Chains A and B, each alone.
Chain A
Amino acid sequence: MTSNAWMQLILYFAVLGLLAKPLGWYMARVYLGQPCCGMERVFGWLERSIYRVANIDERHEMGWRQYAVAVLLFNAVGFFAVYALLRLQGMLPLNPQQFAACTPDLAFNTAASFATNTNWQSYAGETTLSYLSQMLGLTVQNFVSAASGMAVLVALIRGLTRRTTATIGNFWFDLVRSTLYILLPLSIVVALLLVSQGVIQNFRPYATVNVLQPTVASDGTKGETQTLALGPAASQIAIKQLGTNGGGFFNVNSAHPFENPTPISNFVELLSILLIAAALCYTFGVMVGDTRQGWALLAAMYVIIVPLTVFTAWQEQNGVPAYTALSVDQTAHVDQPGGNMEGKETRFGIVNSALWASATTAASNGSVNAMHDSFTPLGGLVPMWLIQLGEIVFGGVGSGLYGMLMFVIVAVFIAGLMVGRTPEYLGKKIEAYEMKMASLVILIPPLVVLVGTAIAVIGPGLDYAAGNEIKSNLNNPGAHGFSEVLYAFSSAGNNNGSAFAGLTTNEPFNNLALGLAMLAARYWLMIPTLAIAGSLARKKFTPPSAGTLPTHRPLFVAMVVGTILLVGALTFVPALALGPIVEHLQMIAAS
């Protein structure tokens, strides 16, 4: 790796760390109902009128069950709204390209995808979705699904901090404030920054330009013009990054020059991916009254993501031995980034592509600026594994941290036993009920991923591998084909949304299976999380003593990291061995 590669990596992680504190501090004020730097003067009237019209008493406290019902109901409404929009797209306005209605399975998959903050793209933005669908369907879900995740996290934090009470806050308060005070202002700023770099934002029909050099394709068709897909992209991209949604305006997502035209836009979008998730760690610290606890969690995330990012960049920079054998120059030098450039953009080169790949999969973002399917086997293993860890290293906004806290609970439990006490976290005893719920949260994603993959490979996949003509689904043969399916279910089963995009998923089986996986992974985890919040809120607070395990020290960070990696490795190593690991060994052996 070049010295510039290191500089870009260090710069990114340093800026991210620096921004975590001020934003985290601000978000804590939003959730604690404190003055928010004048933002309430801009949006306060809106917030209050929403409460008034909706007949909401935002100070009314909810128990965990009521909170859960509110989250689920709200998300269900969003799900059906997107489904209806996509099905009725052909009849609705703002459809300059006159796209027809989506098929039921695609509409189901996309609705599930956006309601669950996954943003798996079975659709190809510029060829299937009208501007109205993008705005009123996808953009809205980008906001509210993110806000739902943040709300659940805040409820869990309240559970940790409250003592002997039955309530964990008000969902509407958390949802509306997340949207208006956090996501909306940040999105406006990021969207305008992106437009300044060349990200498009208009309502024009696709533009046709005359190309400089007309071409004649091999089949004789003449190419004298080029059609440029246009639309209100910047506003959606800003929130898709900030809300860890990731669903692109265009098919190739942020690899598309209109979505991500310059290194600066790339840096801003990259930062947006992890920004809120990182800052929420600090928010957590503020809200539990000990910022060291928040820093410890952020440190655990850094400890996992930084080495993996470096590893991916290293693998991609090493390139593909077979290319070198074909007399292709993959070395990095002053005139070219070198490395495995298949599926990568010249302006981003190796390091920005690798950094994006690990950031987008560490967070449950799923946007891409390079095609993961074309990564080297081990370079592609990293994003896949980061997803499989459960989308908790940063993870989705809100959902990542509450997932992380479930792992913390497990780590605390084992560590607590090892110091000879009933485990406790932040003064709350971790008992059988918490273990049951945390186990569910940890259990469900692997279940969805592995069972889903198994069903998919013995069905269409096996037919293909056996030489039967169902080639359309898989783009790559052998172990890599297996990786594609595994990646798809990992992505859906952890609400990430990125893909080894060679797998054609816009067909009924995959749309349905992946849609169900996304729904299970999102809501099946939210409910036990809220149950833990409720249970913790009811507990007494045990003041710390010398016998209490400190949960902010490096040792505990190591314990959490170890727990995450061990569970992640133990669960997915066999599957990974049959996919990227064997592919890597084959690649090495072949050269």
Chain B
Amino acid sequence: MATTHKARPLFDPPILRRAVIDAFTKLDPRRQLRNPVMFTVFVGSILTTGLGIDALITPGAESAAFILGVSAWLWFTVLFANFAEAMAEGRGKAQADTLRATRRDVQAKKLSKPEYNATRSLVSASTLRKDDVVLVEAGDMIPSDGEVVEGVASVDESAITGESAPVIRESGGDRSSVTGGTRVLSDWIVVRVSANPGETFLDRMIGLVEGAKRQKTPNEIALDILLAAMTIIFLIVCATLLPFSKYSVAAAGQGSPITVTVLVALLVCLIPTTIGGLLSAIGIAGMDRMIQANVIAMSGRAVEAAGDVDVLLLDKTGTITMGNRQAVEFIPADGVDLPHLADSAQLASLADETPEGRSVVVLAKDRYGLRGRNVHDLGATFIPFTAQTRLSGVDFDGRKIRKGAAQSVEQFVIGNGGSFSSDVHRHVDGIARQGGTPLVVADGARALGVINLKDIVKGGIKERFIELRQMGIKTVMITGDNPQTAAAIAAEAGVDDFLAEATPEAKLKMIRDYQAGGRLVAMTGDGTNDSPALAQADVAVAMNSGTQAAKEAGNMVDLDSNPTKLIEIVEIGKQLLMTRGALTTFSLANDVAKYFAIIPAAFATTYPVLNKLNVMGLATPSSAILSAVIFNALIIVALIPLALRGVPYRAVGAARLLRDNLLIYGVGGLVVPFFGIKLIDVLLVTLRIV
């Protein structure tokens, strides 16, 4: 699954700078209100600041230095959370800037009607509306998204995909869609614009990567509710502690009631600030990871759904098998010896740059030791493939060597006065029955034999399917082949099921059937005829090379147009959920240690015996409380890399995954703060801050 990740270092200095500034601008109360957990901290910060200032003027139970110290760290807590979000957004923003650079306003040659020869007028690209028609010639930037209605051209889409090799765009068929911001390298095309200004693919992509219109995903909302509930519980716990403490002071006859500063400190330590502060960063980072994988998800919901996928519909060609068939065998006709056939096949393919052609040369070399020769050195004339002849080959030494489909070659042989022997027909039929593609090699009037071109299952794909099975995901191969061939390839690749002789209707029906059984289906598609199935699937990845209709129907676009990407997408989706779960567990488990730090400290004057609970041996009540608050703030920063990168996903069963994550984040969350708080306490004492 070699995908070219555009690796951007986690802490890229420019992003870092911008994030620091954003952390402050995000202090806007309206923004804070969106996140109940952090809003609580925000209010606490303001409250303690007020108390601190008040203590400066009229000294009270707590020293102003202590209150302001707590207050400062509460502000840091808010800022760190803002910073985490800004970091996640910053990575998207940087990406968006690169994209935006390609959206320079260009001049478009608007046509009066969809013909090359129609009258053209120069207009600004930003004035183009849907259904306008433009001409784009070599060197021009394509002004907007659209559909090629006439012509064929090679287009450089590297601005969008990062892939430098140009692609062919032509009218009709599945390669007719073009994207605004890409450049025509050769020839010309007439494009019908399919998007209004601001709605183009590029615009949407910029919006998505910037996270401007980010909506909360279903699981995020559910988690938000849980976190809000926990926040309310802890709010009650802390608020009622004041009367409890007052009663205790009266009952014990000593000490003073717990101060509001300590209560706020306790509250902030208890509410799940770790996950609350990182929650939106995790979501944005999930989208960002998709972008790193060159996938544009149309919504966060789609990314999340990817984690839930039960069934993967995979196209055979390009995903399970190599995109092209390869020669695996030469079968000579009666009376032809094998080396001769191999030699002729090689000659016929020397100048054939198609993958199939190259695979013939490779086979001849590997199997028969025939070294590659240069057509020109041989003085041979290359006969390229044409739509009329549907053959290719060389004229060399008076020989006319051709290879091609059986029917075409037979015509060629007959044309040269020869005929196919029955054994050639037999070989051709045999190969076809086994799911291979027969190519016949002929020399003038004589058929020399048959090349068996076969689907080659990609290396490592079988292991990948085993992993998917362990993840609980069923793989289904979709192919146009006949059931026999499909079964043979399915068995070889190790998929769970296959759909042979697939039609768009059959595909759609299959998706619906799976969904009716409660399963979530993911698929990839590129053709217009894939659109209904893409629209039906829960996670639908359209190839960027595909048609506009396919891209509209899907909820993700794979810029690499790599059908195997689906597997990666599922992993990213799972990672997103796992990161949330792991940090929630961590956050809640942290509270235990914080109690041990704060409770003895908070009631030190009323019930000195409670110091027995000070298992960490923290120096003083104020150092204990301050240490807990500082730990609580710093842990957010410490976990930013994890939030941005995500918890690593391994393809093991759910039970194992839970066990491992519980051990790391549950038990870890329980233990880590004990050491962390103690360490901070020691530092505070050493530095004589308290």
Direct contact of A and B (CB under 8 A): yes
Which residues of A approach B to under 8 Å, CB–CB?
Answer: 410, 413-422, 427, 430-432, 434-436, 439-440, 442-443, 446-447, 450-451, 453-455, 457-458, 461-462, 465-466, 477-479, 481-482, 540-543, 545-550, 553, 555-556, 558-559, 562, 566-567, 569-571, 573-575, 577-578, 581-582, 585-586, 589
Within 8 Å CB of B591, what residues of A?
A: 566, 570
By Cβ-Cβ distance, the 6 closest A-B pairs, closest first, are A547-B472, A417-B581, A420-B574, A545-B472, A439-B229, A418-B581
Chain B residues whose CB sits within 8 angstroms of the CB of A553 once the complex forms: 655
In addition to A417-B223, A419-B661, 16 A-B residue pairs with Cβ atoms within 8 Å of each other are: A414-B585, A418-B578, A418-B658, A446-B233, A462-B243, A481-B251, A482-B244, A546-B469, A546-B653, A550-B655, A566-B588, A570-B233, A573-B599, A574-B595, A575-B237, A577-B613
For residue B21, CB closer than 8 A to chain A, the reply is: no
Could you list some 12 contacts between A and B, CB below 8 A? A417-B223, A418-B578, A420-B573, A420-B574, A431-B222, A439-B229, A453-B240, A455-B243, A547-B653, A555-B662, A570-B234, A570-B588
Would A585 and B518 count as touching, CB distance under 8 A?
Answer: no
Inter-chain contact B247/A461, CB cutoff 8 Å: yes
Bound together, the chains give a CA A338 to CA B232 distance in angstroms of: 45
Give the interface residue-count category, chain B.
35 or more
Bound-complex Cα distance A117 to B242 (A): 32
Q: How far is the CB of A244 from chain B (nearest CB, A)?
A: 25
Q: Given contacts A419-B657, A446-B233, are A454 and B240 in contact (CB under 8 A)? A: yes
Shortest distance in angstroms between A510's beta carbon and chain B's nearest beta carbon?
A: 16
Is A546 a contact of B472 with CB atoms below 8 Å?
Answer: yes
A422 and B308 contact, Cβ closer than 8 Å, known pairs A414-B584, A550-B655, A575-B240: yes
Residue of B nearest to A415 (CB): B658
Contact yes or no, B658 A422, CB < 8 A: no
Contact A479 B236 (CB under 8 A): no
CB <8 Å contact, B654 and A421: yes
Interface pick from B386-394, B504-512, B602-610, B633-641:
B602-610
Cα-based distance from A463 to B595 in the complex (angstroms): 29
> Quick one: which of B283-340 are within 8 Å of A by CB?
304, 307-308, 310
Cβ of B229 and Cβ of A462 under 8 Å apart?
no
CA distance A480 to B247 in the complex (A): 12
Question: Which of A410, A430, A435, A555: most chain B CB closer than 10 A?
Answer: A435
Q: Which of A416, A420, A440, A542 contacts B575 (CB 8 A)?
A: A420
The reply to whether B246 and A458 form a contact with Cβ atoms under 8 Å apart is: yes
Is there contact, CB below 8 Å, between A443 and B654? no
Residues from chain B with a CB closer than 8 A to the CB of A420 are: 307, 573-578, 581, 649, 657
Residues of B within 8 A of A556 (CB): 658
**B247 near A421: Cβ-Cβ < 8 Å:** no
Q: Mask for B214-251, Cβ within 8 A of A = 1, else 0? A: 00001101110110110011101111111111111011
Question: In the complex, which of the residues A418, A432, A548 contacts B472, with contact meaning CB atoms closer than 8 Å?
Answer: A548
- Shortest CB–CB separation between residue A424 and chain B, in angstroms? 9
A578 touches B245 (CB 8 A): yes
- Asked whether A569 lies within 8 Å of B592 as measured between CB atoms, the reply is yes
Complex-state Cα separation, A556 to B575, whole angstroms = 20
B658-685 residues at the A interface, CB under 8 angstroms: 658-659, 661-662, 665-666
| B residues 125-164 touching A (CB-CB < 8 Å) | none
State whether the Cβ of B567 lies closer than 8 Å to any Cβ in chain A.
Answer: no
CB nearest to B576 among chain A residues: A420
How distant is the Cα of A555 from the Cα of B666 in the complex, in angstroms?
13
With known contacts A566-B588, A582-B610, A586-B609, A543–B233 Cβ distance under 8 A: no
Among residues of B, the one whose C-beta sits closest to the C-beta of A572 is: B237
Contacts of A446 in B (CB 8 A): 233, 236-237
Contacts of B228 in A (CB 8 A): 439
Q: Is B582 an interface residue (CB 8 A)?
A: yes
B226 near A413 (CB under 8 angstroms)?
yes
Known: A413-B226, A477-B251, A559-B662. A542 touches B519 (CB 8 A): yes
In whole angstroms, how far apart are the Cα atoms of A446 and B241 in the complex?
Answer: 13
Q: B56 → chain A, closest Cβ, in Å?
A: 29
Question: Residues of A contacting B609 with CB < 8 Å?
Answer: 582, 585-586, 589
B589 at the interface (CB under 8 A from A): yes
Closest chain A CB from B563 CB (angstroms) = 21
With most chain A CB atoms within 10 A of its CB, the pick from B219, B592, B603 is B219
The answer to whether B471 and A546 have CB atoms under 8 Å apart is yes
Which residues in A have their C-beta under 8 angstroms from that of B239?
454
Pick the contact of B578: A419, A461, A548 (CB < 8 A): A419
- Answer whether A555 and B655 are a contact pair too, CB < 8 Å, given A453-B240, A541-B518, A577-B603: yes
User: In the complex, what's the smallest C-beta–C-beta distance from A149 to chain B, in angstroms?
Assistant: 23
Chain B residues whose C-beta falls within 8 Å of the C-beta of A430 in the assembled complex: 222
The one of A413, A443, A465, A559 that contacts B233, using a Cβ cutoff of 8 Å: A443
Contact (A417, B584) CB under 8 Å given A454-B244, A478-B251: yes
| In the complex with contacts A418-B661, A458-B243, A482-B248, A540-B237 CB distance below 8 A | no
Chain A nearest CB from B585 CB (Å) reads: 6
Verify B247–A413 contact, CB threshold 8 A. no
A421 touches B308 (CB 8 A): yes
Q: A99 to B665: give the CA distance in the assembly, Å.
A: 61
**Contact at B577–A465, with CB atoms within 8 Å?**
no
Closest to B517 in A: A543
- Assess whether B488 is interfacial by the CB under 8 Å rule: no
What is the CB-to-nearest-CB distance from B37 to chain A, in angstroms, rounded to a whole number?
14
